[in-house]
């Protein structure tokens, strides 16, 4: 009789004879590697502070090209310069976007005043941008001073007819945030040529909107209303001249003689310059914006050459560090910001028409000073996310995330529900030079300029990796 051996597999035996429920093997989930943001921030800072090109680029833009006013050869040169700089850092996606731009020529301009029967005295002045001129002829009239809205309202009908109105409205020194002080003053109806023209006055002179105590006039943009029956000439004078004129007017009658050959000659087109690094994950857009144009008499170093070179520096740094961006990082250098704003309106229309998904827009137009934070114009939920990153920014002197005002060049994007932010800098000196011949390259500190680019790049990095 043969012995029959029955072989029971061990796993089966275990199954049959064990009273225990079999244990399921747990598959280990691969942990997603998170960034050490402190390290990433330092890499960005080290790269820019040691290899950054923003300061050298600003020198080329301001000293090599100079004024780059809309519809002038200077702006054309700035466009070509910007395209070359973007190509040099390895950006392949670069294109132009044409926007309307007014052709306005300042021409010759002069202001003289005469106290009583004295002699004529020349006063430094600047025509408002896009202002009507006097046709190259002398416009003569008695000056009437107005210091407040209540004074204007108290004047009887006809009191200002055929007069030249001098609005002596300074920026409020009690407001510590100079940008707030400037905006409050700039929005006053007292410095509206349309409002003053309705009183019967034939010209407007304003005290320059500046924190400086010198005699340098600062430019301002004019807005005429469509129903204006008369468009009066408007100009600005420096602080010292304004103070002296105020003293004279308290003593005696003062006459002004204005001669402005300023004129508008229709419109043309100027391009926005757009450049981007495509996203590796999707085509959602994170956009950085700065204005490429400057006033016709100014280098525009702080306003806004600094912003232009900082935007280019952000792209250069991302490329240099080999950072693979999830979303598309785009830079827009806006045309016609100073005397029209057509560039920013064109870009917003472009985004809306193409139905492009923008998740964040960052602007920089407050000068190349030390960064202090970011103004956040967005939903409370989005603000809360950025508040959580404060500790990463703090070692770089960036701490202020409480402000909510967004600058004008990216502001049209708000209508498209795009979260907006602005680089906040120390602006205590900005309005000393803003819109004046004093806004020159030598007023910009290299280290402060680069630190602004550091903060911008760090913010773009965080948005790209977390939104």
Q: Which two tokens stand for residue 185?
A: 């003053």
Indicate whether 192 and 318 sit together in one domain: no
d(CA 203, CA 166): 9
Rounded alpha-carbon distances, angstroms, from residue 354 to 63, 269, 349, 410, 467: 38, 21, 9, 17, 21
> For helices 306-320 and 446-466, what crossing angle results, to 10°?
60
Average of pLDDT values for 381-392?
96
Helix (H) or strand (E) holding 323: none
Helix (H) or strand (E) holding 461: helix 446-466
- Output helix, strand, coil percentages for the chain, rounded to the nearest 5: 35, 20, 40
Q: Could you report the per-residue pLDDT of 448-465, keeping only the tens digit for each? A: 999 999 999 999 999 999
Q: Which domain holds residue 198?
A: 107-261
pLDDT of residue 18: 37
Residue 16 has pLDDT above 90, yes or no: no
- Which residue among 196, 229, 261 closes a domain? 261
Smallest Cα–Cα separation from 126: which of 202, 196, 206?
206
In-domain check, residue 2: no
In-domain check, residue 4: no
Residue 6 has pLDDT above 90, yes or no: no
Indicate whether 448 and 307 sit together in one domain: yes
Please state, for a pLDDT cut of 90, what percent of the chain lies above it.
87
Indicate whether 95 and 138 sit together in one domain: no
Q: Could you report the per-residue pLDDT of 404-456, keeping only the tens digit for each? A: 987 779 999 999 999 999 999 999 999 999 999 999 999 999 999 999 999 99
pLDDT of residue 97: 98
Indicate whether 233 and 380 sit together in one domain: no
Q: Please report which confidence band the pLDDT of residue 244 belongs to, taking 50, 70 and 90 as the band edges.
A: very high
Among 25-29, 51-55, 416-420, which is the least confidently predicted range?
25-29
pLDDT of residue 7: 40
Residue 2 has pLDDT above 60, yes or no: no
Instruction: For the chain, give the mean pLDDT.
Output: 92
pLDDT of residue 370: 98
- Which residue among 211, 236, 261 closes a domain? 261
Indicate whether 149 and 171 sit together in one domain: yes
In-domain check, residue 360: yes
In-domain check, residue 199: yes
Residue 14 has pLDDT above 50, yes or no: no
Indicate whether 188 and 324 sit together in one domain: no
Q: Could you report the per-residue pLDDT of 298-333, keeping only the tens digit for each? A: 999 999 999 999 999 999 999 999 999 999 999 999
Indicate whether 88 and 190 sit together in one domain: no
Indicate whether 55 and 144 sit together in one domain: no
372 three-class SS: strand
pLDDT of residue 157: 67
- Which residue among 243, 261, 279 closes a domain? 261
pLDDT of residue 255: 98
Residue 124 has pLDDT above 80, yes or no: yes
Tell me the residue ranges of DSSP E strands in 131-233: 139-146, 164-167, 203-207
DSSP code for 221: B
Residue 29 has pLDDT above 60, yes or no: no
Q: Could you report the per-residue pLDDT of 198-231, keeping only the tens digit for each? A: 999 999 999 999 999 999 999 999 989 999 989 9
More confident site: 23 or 279? 279
């Amino acid at each position: 009789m043969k012995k029959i051996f029955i072989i029971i597999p061990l796993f089966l035996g275990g199954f049959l004879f064990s009273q225990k429920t079999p244990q399921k093997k747990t598959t280990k989930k691969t942990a997603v590697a998170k960034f050490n943001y402190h390290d990433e921030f330092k890499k960005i800072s080290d790269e820019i502070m040691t290899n950054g090109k923003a300061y050298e680029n600003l020198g080329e833009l301001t000293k090599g090209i100079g004024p780059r006013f809309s519809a002038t050869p200077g702006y054309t040169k700035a466009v070509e310069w910007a395209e070359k700089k973007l190509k040099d850092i390895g950006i392949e996606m670069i294109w132009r976007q044409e926007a309307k731009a007014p052709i306005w020529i300042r021409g010759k301009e002069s202001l003289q005043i005469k106290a009583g029967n004295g002699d004529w005295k020349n006063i430094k002045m600047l025509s408002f941008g896009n202002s009507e001129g006097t046709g190259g002829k002398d416009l003569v009239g008695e000056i009437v001073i107005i210091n407040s809205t209540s004074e204007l309202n108290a004047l009887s009908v006809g009191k200002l007819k055929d007069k030249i109105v001098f609005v002596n409205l300074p920026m409020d020194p009690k407001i510590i945030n100079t940008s707030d002080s400037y905006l409050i003053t700039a929005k006053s109806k007292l410095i509206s040529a349309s409002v003053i023209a309705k009183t019967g006055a034939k010209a407007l002179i304003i005290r320059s909107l500046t924190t400086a105590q010198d005699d340098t006039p600062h430019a301002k943009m004019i807005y005429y209303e469509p129903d204006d029956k008369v468009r009066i000439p408007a100009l600005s004078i420096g602080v010292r001249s304004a103070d002296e004129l105020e003293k004279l007017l308290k003593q005696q009658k003062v006459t002004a003689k204005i001669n402005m050959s300023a004129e508008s000659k229709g419109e043309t087109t100027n391009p926005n310059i757009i450049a981007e690094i495509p996203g590796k994950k999707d085509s959602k857009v994170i956009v950085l914006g700065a204005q490429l144009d400057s006033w016709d008499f100014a280098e525009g170093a702080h306003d806004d050459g600094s912003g232009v070179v900082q935007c280019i520096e952000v792209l250069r740094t991302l490329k240099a560090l080999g950072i693979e961006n999830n979303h598309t990082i785009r830079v827009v250098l806006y045309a016609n910001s100073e005397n029209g704003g057509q560039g920013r309106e064109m870009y917003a229309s472009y985004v809306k028409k193409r139905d492009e998904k923008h998740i964040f827009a960052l602007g920089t137009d407050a000068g190349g000073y030390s960064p202090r934070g970011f103004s956040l114009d967005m939903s409370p939920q989005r603000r809360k996310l950025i508040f959580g990153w404060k500790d990463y920014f703090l070692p770089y002197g960036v701490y202020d995330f409480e402000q909510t005002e967004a600058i004008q060049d990216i502001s049209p994007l708000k209508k498209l529900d795009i979260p907006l932010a602005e680089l906040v800098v120390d602006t205590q000196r900005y309005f000393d030079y803003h819109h004046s011949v004093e806004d020159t390259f030598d007023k910009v500190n290299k280290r402060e300029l680069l630190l602004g680019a550091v903060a911008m790049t760090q913010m773009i990095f965080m948005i790209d990796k977390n939104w």
